C-alpha cells in the first residue's frame, strides 16, 4: 500500500506557570492538526509514492538521521530535540566558524568573560547553561580553548537536553557533535576563494580520490588572512589541513585513518568601553575610584567611543596549535550487527597575550572644565599559556535483534579516556621568586577616544606557579529502543562512569602567608595537590507514539552530572567554590514533550518541544549560618519550534524559534544578596534562513533575532542605577545571491547585517566593556569543481 500523503485559553490551571500553559496549548494544537491531516488525507498512487521519495532525497537542508551511532532511530522518531545543520546551509550562508554555524540554532548565546578577563575559544550557552565543554568531534569529546573552523565538516549536530547517558559528564543542556568529512568512493574536487570586507581573504579546498576499488584518499585544506569587520587591528589568520585515508569501503570491514592540523596566528580583541552607550551608568563612589556627583553626571553624559577603537597593542597575539589523530575501524558481524572502535589522540596549545580595557582614570575625569578628549582608561595585560591533551578509546556495538517478540535497536559501548590541561602561572606585581627579582608590570592608560596601539605595554612574567589538572574516565553505556507496536516505541539508556580527577599547583610564598607555610622562604613555591574520585550514573527514558507514519509525539526525561572540577580538571580547596572535591556533583534533569512531522510529501520537517530543566546542588550561602551549602538551583522552562526542508522543489527553509524562562532559585551570593535570574539567557531567540533557485540563480536570505539578555540578576536591584544591566535586543538581516556560471563554476555574494544595525554581541560580567557586533559586511565567493 502506498504511503499516506499529508500537507501538513489564556486561562491556566492552578499551579501551572502561564509560560508552560501557553506552550502546552501550542504544542497540542500542532500535534492535533498534524494527526487530523494525516488521517484524512487521500491515498497516494504508487506512481506518486515514487515521486515523493525522489523529492525527499532532493532536499539538501533536511537530514533524515543523525551521523551518531548512538542515535539509532530516524530524527522523526528520536525522543529529543536534535538539529542538524548541513554543509549546504553553511555554504549558502558563507559560514566559516563554529560560532557562525550555531547562529542557526535558537537558544544559543555567546559569552565574553569575567571582569577584565576575555574567554578564549568558542564560549557559549545553550538553554541557559554554559556548554563550551560539551563539544564533540565524531562522538569523541573535544578539548582546547580553540576557535573551531568548519572547513572540514559535513554537518553540525546540536543535541538538546541533558545527555549524560549519551556522552558522560557535563552536557547539562546537551552537546554539539561535529561530523568530519571522510574519504569515500567518489572522485570529486572543489576549491573556493572568498574576498570581502575587512580585507577578508579565505581559500578552501576539498579533494577526494578513489585509490582502488575499496580505498580512497581525501584532503581538506584552508588558509585565511582576514581582519574583523568594524574592529581596528584585530585579525584572524590561520591555516589548516585534514587528510583522510579509507580502506575496505563497500566491504564488511572498513578502516578510516584521519587527522586534523590547525595553526592560528590571531590578534585577539579585548573589547570596547561601554561609556556613552544606552544603559551605561556611573554613580558616585569613594576610595581609590572616588567620583563626586558632578563628575558622575559628566561621565553619564559623555559620548560613546568609536566602536572600532582598539585598546590593545600591536604586540597582542593569540597563537594556536592543534593536532588530532583518529583511527576508526568498523566491522559488520552480520547485516544487523556492527562493531566499531575509535582511537584518538589530540593536543592543543594556546599562547595568548591580550590587553583588556578597564575603568576611567585620571584626576580630570568628570571635571566640568576638564577636556573629555583627554580622559583615559586603564588597561590590563592578560597572558594565557595552556596545553590540552586527550587520549580516547571507544568500543561500541550496534545491533538489531528480536527478543521477547519485540524488535530492539541496541547500542552498547566502553569508553576509556584520559584528559589533561596545563596552565602556566603569570604575574605582574614586583616580587622575588626563587631568588629572581621581578619588577612590577605597569601599563600606560589609553586615551578613551583615541587609543594608541603603538604604546609600549608590559608582558606578564612566568611565576612557575603552574596548574596541572587531569581526569581519567572509564565509561560503560547501553542504549536501547524497543518497538512495542508499529506505533509505539520506548527508548532507554544507562551510563556508568568512574572518574578520577587530580590537580597539582602551588602557592607563591609572600610575607603575608609565610607563617602559614613553615619551611618555606619568601619567594619560594609551596606545592599542593588535590584529588577526587567517584562514580556517576546517568540515564534517559523516552516514549514515542506514531499516530501516522510521517509523524510522532514523544515524552522524555533524562539527567546529566557534572562533578567538581569536571569542566577544566581544576579542583579547589575553598569551601565556597563549586570545584571543591567535598561537594556533590551538580545534577541536571530535564523533562521534554514534543512532536515531529514530515509534511509536504516528507520534504519538510516541522517540530515543537516544551521542556523544563533543573540544575540542582549549586552552591549558595545560607542566610542563617553564613555557610556555603548546596541548596541552590537553576530552572529553565522553554518551548522550541523548528522547520527544515523544502517547501517546493526549488524553495528551501531552515527556521527555529525558542522561548525561554530562566531563573535561579535560592541562589544567595551572601546572606543578604539573592540572584534570581540567569545571565545571557534571552526570553526569545529566532533564526530563519531560506533560499529559492530559479534556473542558474539562487536567491536567499535570513533573519536572526535575540531579545534582551540580562547582566544584572540580583533580586530587587534598581536597574536604573546599574551599569549596562542588559544586552539590548537586536534583529539582523542577511542576504545571499548566487549564479551558476557553468556546471563547474559558481559565484556567490553574501551581505551580512544588511541594514547596518549597531548592536552588542557580547558584554562582560561587570558591564564595563563589550564586543560590538559586526557592521554591514560583504563577501564574494568563487567555487570551482574540477
Q: Residues of the chain with pLDDT > 90: what percent? A: 76
- Distance from C-alpha of 737 to C-alpha of 691, rounded to nearest angstrom: 9
Q: Once rounded to an integer, what is the mean pLDDT over residues 218-245? A: 97
Instruction: Provide the b/e sequence for 206-228 (b: ≥16 CB within 10 Å).
Output: bbbebeeeebbebbbbbebebbb
pLDDT at residue 545, as a whole number:
98
pLDDT one-digit tens code per residue, 686-697: 999 999 999 999
Whether the predicted pLDDT of 353 surpasses 50: yes
* pLDDT higher than 80, residue 57: no
pLDDT of residue 569: 86
- pLDDT bucket at 290, cuts 50 / 70 / 90: low
The stretch 6-32 carries a mean pLDDT of 42
pLDDT at 41: 41
Q: What is the pLDDT of residue 297?
A: 85
Residue 258 bridge partners (DSSP): 244, 326
The three three-digit cell numbers of residue 508, written as one number: 607563591
Across the range 459-482, mean pLDDT stands at 96
Summary mean pLDDT of the chain? 89
Please report the pLDDT score of residue 366 as a whole number: 56
Residue 127 has pLDDT above 90, yes or no: yes
User: Among 347, 273, 338, which Cα is nearest to 304's?
Assistant: 273
Reported confidence tier of residue 362, pLDDT bands at 50, 70, 90: low
Q: Confidence band (pLDDT; 50, 70, 90) for 286?
A: low
pLDDT of residue 289: 55
What Rg, from alpha-carbon coordinates, does the chain have?
Answer: 27
pLDDT value of residue 221: 98
**Which residue's entry shows cell 508552560?**
20
Per-residue pLDDT of 213-230, as tens digits, reads: 999 999 999 999 999 999
Q: Of 70, 174, 80, 69, whose CA–CA distance to 132 is shortest?
A: 174
What residues contact 590, with CB distance under 8 A and at least 6 apart?
A: 161, 162, 557, 558, 559, 611, 612, 613, 614
pLDDT over threshold 60, residue 116: no
User: Cell 626563587, residue?
Assistant: 434
Least confident of 22-26, 461-465, 589-593: 22-26
Average pLDDT of span 99-106 = 94
Exposed (0-12), middle (13-18) or buried (19+): which is 574, by Cβ within 10 Å?
Answer: exposed
Report residue 98 as a C-alpha cell. 563554529
Residue 136 scores a pLDDT above 50: yes
Mean pLDDT, rounded, for 259-274: 96
Above pLDDT 70, what percent of the chain?
89
Q: How far is CA 396 from CA 308, 364, 765, in A?
A: 51, 68, 42
Between these two residues, 85 and 32, which has the higher pLDDT value?
85
Element (H, E) at 293: helix 293-300
Task: Tell me the per-residue pLDDT of 65-90, one tens digit each, with 9 for 90 and over.
Answer: 999 999 999 999 999 999 999 999 99
Rounded to an integer, the average pLDDT of 332-353 is 97
What is the average per-residue pLDDT within 310-324?
96
In angstroms, the CA 270 to CA 276 distance is 18
d(CA 606, CA 655): 9
Question: Is pLDDT at 318 greater than 70 in this prediction?
Answer: yes
**Residue 36: what pLDDT?**
46
Q: What is the DSSP string of 381-448?
A: EEEEEEEEEEEEEEEEEEEEEEETTEEEEEEEEEEEEEEEEEE--EE-S-EEETTEEE-----PPEES
DSSP 332: E
Say what the alpha-carbon torsion angle 766, 618, 390, 473 is, to the nearest 10 degrees.
170
**Residue-wise DSSP of 122-177:** --EEETTEE-TT-EEETTEE--SS---B-TTEEEEEEEES--HHHH-S--SSEEEE
**Whole-number Å distance between alpha carbons of 714 and 720:** 13
In the chain, helix, strand, coil percent, each to 5?
A: 10, 55, 35
Checking if the pLDDT of 22 tops 60, the result is no
Flag whether pLDDT at 148 surpasses 60. Answer: yes
Would you place residue 59 in the very low, low, confident or very high pLDDT band (cuts 50, 70, 90)? Answer: low
**pLDDT mean over 443-463:** 95
| pLDDT-derived band at 364, boundaries 50, 70, 90 | low
Instruction: Note the pLDDT tens digit of each residue in 166-185.
Output: 999 988 899 999 999 999 99
Contact of 460 with 381, CB cutoff 8 Å: yes
Residue pair 720/686 in contact (Cβ under 8 Å)? The answer is no
pLDDT of residue 174: 94
Mean pLDDT, residues 3-28:
40
Contact 137, 148 (CB under 8 A): no
User: Is pLDDT larger for residue 670 or for residue 463?
Assistant: 463
CB 224 within 8 A of CB 240: no
End-to-end C-alpha distance for the chain, whole angstroms: 44
Confidence of residue 498 (pLDDT cuts 50, 70, 90): very high
**Which pLDDT does position 34 carry in this prediction?**
45
Cell numbers at 462, concatenated? 612566568
- Using an 8 Å Cβ cutoff, are 748 and 783 in contact? yes
Q: Is the pLDDT of residue 1 over 80?
A: no
Average pLDDT over residues 29-34: 46
pLDDT of residue 131: 85
* Least-confidence region, from 7-16, 476-485, 497-506, 538-547: 7-16
Amino acid at each position: 500500500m502506498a504511503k499516506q500523503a499529508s500537507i501538513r485559553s489564556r486561562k491556566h490551571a492552578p499551579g501551572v506557570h502561564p509560560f508552560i500553559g501557553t506552550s502546552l496549548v501550542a504544542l497540542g494544537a500542532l500535534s492535533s492538526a498534524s494527526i487530523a491531516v494525516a488521517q484524512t488525507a487521500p491515498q497516494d498512487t504508487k506512481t506518486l509514492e515514487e515521486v515523493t521519495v525522489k523529492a525527499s532525497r532532493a532536499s539538501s537542508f533536511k537530514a533524515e538521521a543523525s551521523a551518531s551511532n548512538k542515535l539509532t532511530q530516524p530524527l522523526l522518531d528520536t525522543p529529543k530535540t536534535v538539529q542538524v545543520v548541513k554543509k549546504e546551509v553553511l555554504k549558502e550562508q558563507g559560514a566559516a566558524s563554529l560560532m557562525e554555524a550555531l547562529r542557526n540554532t535558537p537558544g544559543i548565546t555567546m559569552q565574553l568573560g569575567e571582569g577584565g578577563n576575555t574567554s578564549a575559544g568558542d564560549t557559549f550557552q545553550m538553554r541557559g547553561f554554559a556548554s563550551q565543554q560539551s563539544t564533540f568531534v565524531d562522538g569523541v569529546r573535544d578539548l582546547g580553548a580553540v576557535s573551531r573552523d568548519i572547513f572540514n565538516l559535513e554537518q553540525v549536530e546540536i543535541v538538546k537536553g541533558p545527555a549524560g547517558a549519551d556522552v558522560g559528564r557535563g552536557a547539562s543542556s546537551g552537546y554539539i557533535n561535529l561530523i568530519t568529512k571522510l574519504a569515500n568512493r567518489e572522485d570529486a574536487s572543489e576549491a573556493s576563494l572568498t574576498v570581502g570586507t575587512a580585507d577578508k581573504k579565505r581559500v578552501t579546498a576539498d579533494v577526494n580520490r578513489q585509490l582502488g576499488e575499496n580505498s580512497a584518499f581525501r584532503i581538506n585544506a584552508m588558509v585565511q588572512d582576514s581582519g574583523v569587520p568594524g574592529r581596528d587591528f584585530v585579525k584572524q589568520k590561520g591555516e589548516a589541513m585534514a587528510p583522510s585515508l579509507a580502506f575496505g569501503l563497500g566491504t564488511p570491514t572498513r578502516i578510516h585513518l584521519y587527522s586534523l592540523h590547525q595553526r592560528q596566528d590571531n590578534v585577539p580583541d579585548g573589547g570596547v568601553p561601554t561609556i556613552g552607550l544606552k544603559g551605561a551608568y556611573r554613580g558616585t563612589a569613594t576610595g581609590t575610584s572616588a567620583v563626586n556627583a558632578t563628575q558622575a553626571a559628566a561621565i553619564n553624559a559623555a559620548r560613546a567611543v568609536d566602536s572600532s577603537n582598539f585598546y590593545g597593542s600591536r604586540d597582542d597575539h593569540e597563537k594556536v596549535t592543534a593536532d588530532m589523530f583518529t583511527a576508526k575501524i568498523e566491522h559488520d558481524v552480520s547485516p544487523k550487527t556492527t562493531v566499531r572502535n575509535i582511537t584518538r589522540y589530540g593536543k592543543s596549545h594556546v599562547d595568548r597575550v591580550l590587553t583588556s580595557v578597564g575603568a576611567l582614570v585620571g584626576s580630570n575625569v568628570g571635571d566640568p572644565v576638564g577636556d573629555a578628549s583627554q580622559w583615559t582608561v586603564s588597561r590590563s595585560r592578560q597572558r594565557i599559556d595552556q596545553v590540552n591533551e586527550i587520549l580516547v578509546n571507544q568500543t561500541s556495538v550496534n545491533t538489531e535483534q528480536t527478543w521477547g517478540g519485540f524488535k530492539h535497536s541496541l547500542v552498547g559501548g566502553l569508553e576509556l579516556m584520559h584528559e589533561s590541561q596545563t596552565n602556566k602561572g603569570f604575574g605582574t606585581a614586583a616580587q622575588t621568586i626563587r631568588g629572581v627579582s621581578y619588577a612590577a608590570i605597569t601599563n600606560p592608560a589609553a586615551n578613551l577616544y583615541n587609543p594608541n596601539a603603538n604604546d609600549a605595554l608590559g608582558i606578564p612574567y612566568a611565576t612557575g606557579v603552574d596548574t596541572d589538572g587531569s581526569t581519567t574516565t572509564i565509561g560503560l553505556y547501553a542504549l536501547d529502543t524497543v518497538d512495542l507496536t508499529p506505533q509505539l516505541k520506548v527508548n532507554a539508556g544507562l551510563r556508568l562512569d568512574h572518574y578520577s580527577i587530580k590537580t597539582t599547583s602551588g602557592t607563591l610564598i609572600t610575607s603575608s602567608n609565610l607563617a602559614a607555610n613553615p619551611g618555606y622562604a619568601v619567594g619560594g613555591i609551596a606545592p599542593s595537590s588535590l584529588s577526587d574520585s567517584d562514580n556517576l550514573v546517568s540515564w534517559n527514558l523516552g516514549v514515542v507514539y506514531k499516530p501516522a507514519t510521517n509523524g510522532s509525539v514523544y515524552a522524555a526525561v533524562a539527567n546529566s552530572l557534572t562533578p567538581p572540577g569536571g569542566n577544566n580538571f581544576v579542583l579547589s580547596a575553598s569551601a565556597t567554590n563549586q570545584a571543591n572535591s567535598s561537594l556533590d556533583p551538580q545534577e541536571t534533569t530535564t523533562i521534554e514533550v514534543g512532536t515531529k512531522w514530515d509534511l509536504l510529501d516528507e520534504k519538510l520537517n516541522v517540530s515543537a518541544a516544551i521542556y523544563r530543566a533543573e540544575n540542582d546542588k549549586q552552591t549558595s550561602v545560607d542566610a542563617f549560618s553564613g555557610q556555603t551549602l548546596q541548596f541552590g538551583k537553576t530552572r529553565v522552562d522553554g518551548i522550541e519550534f523548528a522547520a527544515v526542508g523544502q517547501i517546493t522543489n526549488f524553495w528551501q527553509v531552515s527556521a527555529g524559534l525558542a522561548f525561554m524562562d530562566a531563573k535561579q532559585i535560592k541562589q544567595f551570593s551572601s546572606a543578604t544578596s539573592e540572584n534570581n535570574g540567569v545571565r545571557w539567557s534571552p526570553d526569545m531567540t529566532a533564526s530563519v534562513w531560506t533560499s529559492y533557485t530559479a534556473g542558474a540563480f539562487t536567491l536567499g536570505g535570513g533573519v536572526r533575532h535575540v531579545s534582551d539578555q540580562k547582566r544584572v540578576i540580583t533580586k530587587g536591584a534598581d536597574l536604573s542605577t546599574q551599569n549596562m544591566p542588559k544586552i539590548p535586543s537586536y534583529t539582523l538581516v542577511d542576504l545571499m545571491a548566487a549564479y551558476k556560471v557553468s556546471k563547474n563554476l559558481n559565484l556567490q555574494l553574501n551581505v551580512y547585517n544588511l541594514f547596518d544595525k549597531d548592536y552588542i554581541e557580547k558584554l562582560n560580567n561587570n558591564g564595563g566593556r563589550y564586543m560590538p557586533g559586526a557592521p554591514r559586511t560583504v563577501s564574494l565567493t568563487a567555487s570551482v569543481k574540477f
